[in-house]
């Protein structure tokens, strides 16, 4: 799937060799040091046989987003961010998938045997589905990201987990919502649906019927097993490419209606007209370099692979460019694997760092031809001054710049 073969001379023979490898290579020893024997061996326990765990040496964890207390004093806000600084590949492990809810911070403890999904409102045949019913219907399996509209570059972010950790990507399996709506028979004149969850506050979102009939998934599977409780077990709505809050978790009810309904969850949209609030929340083309990123330390000049993630609510990522000189010039990165629609896409670019101060940026283009904007472009569009504490209205898909200091430390360029 990769178009270019790595060039051997770039890694070892060139002036910019791997720091650690250089020593070994120059020694030219015929008998390099073997790996030490493992310190110990673990006997397989019954529990480990049943459901395996990660290594005790792995400490990557989600954190409360932006230092917020989760839940807050009202028990309502839980924002937990994915550790993107440790990410490899495309899938986010379910255990590390970001969680956001402003709909009550407590997770419904749902017995799937008791759970029901009701489809009603402006339909010919109101229907109630058990989980078993849903699993008998035609299914799809698709890779999709979810992203919270609050996910954004900021001056205060000390980690990529803080600035970009409110997005994750998983393999989702379920029934197309259109299949269920066709079964129920949507009546002419119904132009919206309201999707409702099972939280204490019964959080809901209004979604245009056109989107509901297009690619929304009523998902029961996530990364090869049941959707996790924090992601809506046993059933959640996937609204591919729309901002996170539309992806209703613990899904219990879908009502076909003839207008947009302002719901409990729209507090974040009150600044705008309701239609704009709902229709404007497709995620724009966005990318971020996950290595190197703020907080990392490069051990010295030499060869590195710059790696990152790109995604768009507008479809598949078609191109990612990386600048290693603060935006003066751009080079096409390689897209790893097959870019999927509305899914995280891994990109990478080989880079010989000469040890001088510089800045790394990435920008992506999606299949619609839309290009990720700079902060300056967005500030100009909204006619707001581009000060360090600049914060775009609504979602923010602008380019993130990481500064590389001459000592190899990596910093947030906006701090």
- The contact mask relative to a second copy for 109-148 (x = CB under 8 A, - = no) is xxxx-xxxxx-x----xxxxxx-xx-xxxxxxxxx-----
Task: Tell me how far apart the alpha carbons of residues 108 and 250 are, in angstroms, rounded to a whole number.
Answer: 7
Subset of 341-360 contacting a second copy (CB under 8 A): 346, 348, 350
Q: Indicate whether 54 belongs to the interface with a second copy (CB under 8 A).
A: yes
Q: Indicate whether 299 belongs to the interface with a second copy (CB under 8 A).
A: yes
Nearer to a second copy, 299 or 393 (CB): 299
User: Could you give the C-alpha distances from 389 to 166, 294, 375, 410, in angstroms and in order?
Assistant: 20, 18, 12, 20
Nearer to a second copy, 182 or 391 (CB): 182
Pick from 158, 296, 301, 336 the residue near a second copy by CB under 8 A.
336
In 161-298 the beta strands, taken as DSSP E runs, fall at 167-176, 192-196, 204-208, 217-222, 225-226, 236-238, 253-257, 286-291
Pick from 16, 96, 218, 283 the residue near a second copy by CB under 8 A.
96
Subset of 268-297 contacting a second copy (CB under 8 A): none
Q: Indicate whether 76 belongs to the interface with a second copy (CB under 8 A).
A: no
Q: Which stretch binds a second copy (CB under 8 A): 25-33, 158-166, 269-277, 373-381?
A: 25-33
Q: Indicate whether 225 belongs to the interface with a second copy (CB under 8 A).
A: yes
Q: Indicate whether 187 belongs to the interface with a second copy (CB under 8 A).
A: no
Query: How many residues sit in the footprint of a second copy (CB under 8 A)?
Result: 129
Task: Tell me how far apart the alpha carbons of residues 312 and 243 are, in angstroms, rounded to a whole number.
Answer: 11
Task: Tell me how far apart the alpha carbons of residues 347 and 333 are, in angstroms, rounded to a whole number.
Answer: 6
Handedness of CA 148, 396, 290, 3 (dihedral sign): positive
Task: Tell me how far apart the alpha carbons of residues 123 and 212 are, in angstroms, rounded to a whole number.
Answer: 14
Q: How far is the CB of 374 from a second copy (least distance, A)?
A: 28
Task: Tell me how far apart the alpha carbons of residues 329 and 159 are, in angstroms, rounded to a whole number.
Answer: 26
Pairing of strands 253-257, 116-121: parallel
Nearer to a second copy, 26 or 325 (CB): 26
Name the strand (E) or helix (H) holding 359: strand 358-366
- CB within 8 Å of 38: residues ≥ 6 apart: none
Q: Indicate whether 221 belongs to the interface with a second copy (CB under 8 A).
A: yes
Pick from 71, 208, 274, 295 the residue near a second copy by CB under 8 A.
71
Nearer to a second copy, 248 or 277 (CB): 248
What residue spans of 260-374 are helical by DSSP H? 274-279
Pick from 15, 33, 73, 389 the residue near a second copy by CB under 8 A.
33
Q: Indicate whether 73 belongs to the interface with a second copy (CB under 8 A).
A: no
């Amino acid at each position: 799937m990769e178009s270019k073969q790595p060039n051997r001379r770039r890694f070892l023979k060139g002036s910019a060799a791997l720091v650690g490898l250089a020593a070994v290579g120059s020694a030219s020893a015929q008998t390099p040091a073997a790996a030490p024997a493992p310190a110990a061996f673990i006997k397989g326990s019954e529990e480990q046989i049943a459901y395996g765990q990660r290594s005790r040496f792995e400490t990557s964890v989600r954190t409360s987003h932006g230092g917020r207390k989760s839940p807050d004093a009202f028990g309502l806000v839980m924002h937990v961010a994915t550790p993107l600084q440790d990410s490899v590949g495309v899938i986010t492990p379910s255990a590390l998938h970001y969680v956001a809810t402003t709909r009550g911070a407590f997770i419904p403890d749902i017995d799937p045997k008791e759970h029901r999904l009701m489809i009603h409102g402006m339909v010919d045949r109101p229907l109630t589905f058990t989980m078993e019913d849903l699993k008998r219907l035609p299914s799809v399996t698709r890779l999709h990201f979810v992203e919270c509209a609050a996910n954004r570059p900021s001056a205060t972010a000390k980690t990529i987990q803080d600035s970009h950790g409110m997005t994750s990507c998983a393999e989702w399996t379920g029934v197309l919502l259109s299949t269920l709506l066709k079964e129920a028979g949507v009546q002419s004149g119904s132009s919206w649906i309201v999707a409702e969850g099972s939280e204490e506050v019964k959080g809901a979102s209004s979604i245009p019927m056109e989107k509901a009939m297009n690619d929304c998934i009523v998902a029961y599977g996530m990364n090869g097993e049941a959707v996790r409780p924090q992601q809506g077990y046993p059933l959640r709505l996937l609204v591919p490419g729309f901002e996170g809050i539309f992806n209703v978790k613990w899904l219990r009810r879908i009502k076909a209606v003839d207008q947009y309904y302002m719901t409990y969850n729209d507090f974040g949209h009150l600044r705008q007209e309701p239609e704009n609030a709902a229709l404007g929340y497709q995620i724009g083309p966005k990318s971020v370099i996950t290595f190197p990123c703020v907080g990392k330390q490069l051990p010295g000049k030499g060869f590195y692979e710059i790696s990152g993630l790109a995604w768009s609510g507008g479809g598949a990522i078609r191109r990612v460019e990386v600048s290693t000189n603060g935006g003066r010039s751009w080079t096409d990165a390689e897209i790893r694997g097959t870019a999927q629609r509305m899914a995280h896409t891994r990109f990478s670019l080989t880079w010989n760092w000469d040890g001088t101060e510089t800045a790394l940026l990435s920008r992506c283009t999606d299949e619609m031809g839309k290009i990720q904007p700079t902060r300056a472009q967005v500030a100009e569009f909204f006619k707001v001054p581009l000060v360090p504490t600049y914060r775009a209205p609504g979602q923010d898909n602008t380019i993130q710049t990481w500064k590389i200091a001459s000592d190899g430390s990596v910093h947030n360029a906006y701090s």
